[in-house]
Structure 1
Amino acid sequence: MKDSTIDTLVVGAGQAGVAMSEHLTRQEIPHLVLERSRIAERWRTGRWDSLVANGPAWHDRFPGLEFEDLDPDAFASKDRVARYFEDYARKFEAPIRTGVEVTSVRRIPGDPRFVAQTSEGEIRANRVVVATGPFQQPLVPAIAPKDDGLYQIHSADYKNPHQMPEGGVLVVGAGSSGVQIADELNRAGRKVYLSVGPHDRLPRSYRNRDYCWWLGVLGEWDKDTPAEGREHVTIAVSGVRGGETIDFRRLGQQGITLVGMTAGVSERIVRFDGNLAGDIARGDESYFAMLDAADAYAKRNGVDLPADPAARELPPLPKCVTQPLLELDLRKAGIRSIIWATGYTADYRWLPENALDAKGKPRHQRGISAEPGIYFLGLSWLSRRGSAFIWGVWHDAKHIADHIGIQRKYLAYRDASQRRGAAAA
């Protein structure tokens, strides 16, 4: 790709980049989407083999295309989701170039445009949309031991139980990824320890409605900020086997040994905090709070939905919770592997400094950067709770495309005014 100029450059062709391209296309805004790998690559290779979407097919999609081969209440496989975005991009002939990596974006001195350095040359653009998403770089905490005798991977590199060496497995992190991986390994006959920290959990379904529906009618998807002190709390949900409510008691009864949040590792001795029972109790509080809100909504609005008393019945706490381990000798327990399901971080050093705060995080309001001409899309809580979800990113992309369209009109007026002035002279 030789040096070229484009009105709007979109970096990334995952769900955010495809959504952005659709809205730019609708407004006839010239643009180019660059993707270093393939469309929706994270869904293809950045997930484990058995992963399915955490939301049902009727919910986790863009407005313009359904999963026609799936029941609306089914959960799409990761490969089906990737194919969905390919099909969607094909619908409007999205100008996507794959296999091209953007390595830096800088403002051109004395010029309102940006120059993007790519693996195939330079591109100049009036504006740049960063659609690289929140899952950029797997984060393994500093407490991870430097021990060649332990097989250690991030959840992004886990594929299936067969890749794991013989022996027990410690899974650190009990959000959706950690819980599902631990459950899969346990069902495959492995001895599994699951390190559980602060979390929220939701009913997969309540009173014959999926939790995605309840969050919608209750206005939870549209909340613009997380509750104070809950910014980094994970949510344990699952679409596996047709969708299940995550209950740590059940996981414990099925053979998984629950332990507290991992506090440190030394000489293959893992230390856990003493808050396991409290963290599970607070997760239960979030669960029951949603049931209460759903019941209140149904009563308030006269919604005729079947009662679901079984949803409020919890099995007893397993022994691993009532008598928790505070230390675990990995050698004695026969644990030869650790999976770090500890989330992701992002690296935006390739962007102009003014687009970032002192911690290197994006400075923006609803995706519109503090650096004019730079936009962010696909981040968690970009504008609301639903921003990082498939349907949520589509609506955020529309807002950004509208902003770009308005800016283009301002500039068109300026240029026309200058031409009129020159003609009058």
Structure 2
Amino acid sequence: MSNEQTTKPHYPVIVIGAGQAGLSISYFLKQLQIDHLVLEKNTLMHGWKNERWDAFTLVTPNWQCDLPGHPYDGDDPKGFMTRDETIGYLERFAAKVNAPVREGVSVNSVETDADGVYQLCTSHGDFSADQVVVASGGYHIPVIPRMAERVPQAVFQMHSAQYKNADQFPEGAVLVVGSGQSGAQIAEDLHLSGRKVFLATGNAPRVSRFYRGKDVVEWLDDMGYYQISVNEHPLGKNVRNNTNHYVTGRDGGRDIDLREFAKEGMELYGLMSEFDGENLIFQPNLADNLNKADATLNNINARIDAWIEKQGIETEEGPSIYTPVWELQQERTSLNLADSGITSILWCIGFRPDFAWLDAAVFNGQGHPKHERGVTQQPGLYFIGLPWLHTWGSGRFSGVRQDAEHLAHQIERYQAQVKSGANAKDAVTA
């Protein structure tokens, strides 16, 4: 190794990202007494503090929060933490872990040298490491379609990552594009604030908040769903592409029913596909989107019914099937922007990953890393905190602990191989 390389600060492990995933892996590395450094381009819990709206709540009950050494510590386990309560929970976790974090350090590139050692170029100098854990998540670049460039400048546009509350928008109606978890909840938030809302729906499914006397999450936990690994799931790794079910923890938790919003004056459309300079163009699939979302809700409830019957569980509430409270009379595929009263568009169509800084042959055609429970085919390179890394809870507070513990032991094993004299590039993680 050259003199230039030996002058760089070297660590056995460098973790990139100091959210709950990065701090979770740091927790276990500290337990194993493995020297490491955590690099964070912003500040601890930046996303939670700066990229959540004011009325945000968790959509999973508080009892599912089980970070390493830090299970839920409040007095409402069946409730749903607000944005501020979630930040407080995470700050207490960070204080417990006391990870070796350097904040404000952007990682510009990561590559391996001839010896298989990782070379990191950052905004605060160069580092090297035997192993690297990428804990920066998979939601990096907000998706805004090219059609947005053709919308008149007089129309205010924003991505969901920037949304805080209705006061950010000028007077007038708001078009929310996307009905996934964020889109559905933000559309409700704007609707409750008194705004006229137009909602361009997608194919996101929905789920009941409560059913037959319990939170549906509690039923699914009893049924073992959250313990199923990605390799055991009927969809296999394709489940990672699924859109999350929309539901809310707001005001103690409730269903989100877009049909109910329509009854109250929200205007619903199918998938938005184009803006032709004057008209917003939508696919004629609103009825299909609503019907499929309801079918998913009914299917999940039917599985719970079957579980209740199989286990002989006594419940006060019997089986039920959701009956639509509003029916579409006619598909509308065009809306004149000038005549609609829409003065703002909120894009809620997700994010795409950006790992361009990481020089490693571990990505698929969509830019997502290929791995087995966070372990890639490149020796010493790992990912954590991604949806369905291993189970449903991998990208949430409920499953990251198990993933972090698993990876920490993989890292320990690999480190032992490197210390035994094997080249890093030749050491193979078992």
How high is the TM-score relative to the length of structure 2?
0.90
**Alpha carbons of structure 1 residues 255 and 63: separation in structure 2 relative to 1, 3 Å:** farther
User: CA offsets, 1:266-322, max 9 Å, x none?
Assistant: 11311111111111111111101111111111121122333155x53434324xx22
Q: Does 1:48 align with 2:56?
A: no
Q: Which residue is equivalent to 2:367?
A: 360
In structure 2, give the amino acid aligned to 1:275: N
Give, as a single letter, the amino acid of the residue that structure 2 aligns with 1:352.
Answer: D
In structure 2, how many angstroms separate the alpha carbons of the residues matched to 1:151 and 1:101? 30
Question: How many Å separate the matches in 2 of 1:412 and 1:31?
Answer: 15
Alignment counterpart, residue 235 of structure 2, candidates 205, 211, 227: 227
The secondary structure found in structure 2 opposite 1:162 is helix
Farther off after superposition, 59-68 or 209-218: 59-68
Segment drifting more, 163-172 vs 360-369: 360-369
Residue 75 of structure 1: which of 53, 76, 80 is its match?
Answer: 80
Counterpart in 2 of 1:151? 156
Say whether residues 1:346 and 2:353 are aligned partners.
Answer: yes
Q: Which residue of 2 aligns with 1:334?
A: 341
- In the alignment, the residues of structure 2 paired with residue 234 and residue 197 of structure 1 have an alpha-carbon distance, to the nearest angstrom, of 12
Query: Which position in structure 1 is the counterpart of 2:173?
Result: 168
For 1:399, the aligned partner's letter is: H
In structure 2, how many angstroms separate the alpha carbons of the residues matched to 1:290 and 1:257?
27
Aligned to 1:135: 139
Alignment partner of 2:128 out of 124, 130, 135: 124
What does the per-residue CA deviation read over 1:331-366, in whole Å, with 9 as the maximum and x for residues that have no partner? 111001110000011110111132333443312222
User: Are 2:215 and 1:210 equivalent residues in the alignment?
Assistant: yes
1:372 corresponds to: 379
Identity of aligned residues (%): 35
CA distance, structure 2, for counterparts of residue 100 and residue 72 of structure 1: 36
- Native 8 Å contact 2:385 2:395 kept in 1: yes
Which of 359, 377, 396 is residue 389 of structure 1 equivalent to? Answer: 396
Distance, in Å, in 1 between the alignment partners of 2:229 and 2:421 is: 38
Give the distance between the partners of 1:207 and 1:34, measured in 2 at CA. Answer: 46
SS in structure 2 opposite 1:284? helix
* Closer, same or farther: CA 283–36 of 1 in aligned 2, 3 Å: same
Look up the match of 2:428. Answer: none
Aligned residues: 410
How far does residue 66 in structure 1 lie from its aligned partner after superposition?
3.6
2:321 pairs with 1:316:
no
Q: Measure the CA separation in 1 of the matches of 2:102 and 2:88.
A: 17
Q: What amino acid does structure 2 have at the position aligned with 1:344?
A: F
Q: Deviations over 1:217-275 (max 9, x none)?
A: 23333241573887343421211111111112111112211111111111131111111
| In structure 2, distance between residues paired with 1:94 and 1:306 | 48
Report the Cα distance in structure 1 between the residues aligned to 2:71 and 2:373, rounded to whole angstroms: 27
TM superposition shift of 1:43:
0.7
1:266 equivalent to 2:276? Answer yes
Structure 2 distance, partners of 1:308, 1:340, is: 40
SS of alignment partner, residue 336 of structure 1: strand
Helix, strand or coil for the counterpart of 1:58? Answer: helix
2:427 aligns with: none
Work out whether residues 159 and 347 of structure 2, in 8 Å CA contact, stay in contact via their aligned partners in 1: yes
DSSP-derived class of the 1:97 partner:
strand
1:277 matched to 2:281? The reply is: no
Structure 2 contact 205–246 (Cα < 8 Å) conserved: yes
Q: Deviations over 1:199-232 (max 9, x none)?
A: 2111111122222222222333324157388734
Could you state the TM-score of these two structures normalised by the residue count of structure 1?
0.91
Partner Cα distance (1:238, 1:398) in 2: 30
Task: Sort the Cα spacing of 1:325 and 1:358 in 2 relative to 1 into closer, same or farther, 3 A.
Answer: closer
* Counterparts of 2:331 and 2:366, CA distance in 1: 37
Q: Quick check: 2:141–2:353 contact (8 Å CA) kept in 1?
A: yes
Cα distance change of structure 1 residues 86 and 216 upon mapping to structure 2, 3 Å threshold: same
CA distance in 2, matches of 1:305, 1:68: 29
Provide the C-alpha distance between the structure 2 equivalents of 1:129 and 1:63, rounded to a whole number of angstroms.
17
In 2, distance between residues paired with 1:63 and 1:20?
A: 9
Mapped to 1, the partners of 2:314 and 2:69 lie a distance apart of 30
SS in 2 for 1:235: coil
Match of 1:22 in 2: 27
Deviation at 1:157, TM superposition (A): 0.9
Is the 1:3–1:123 contact (alpha carbons within 8 Å) kept by the matching residues of 2? yes
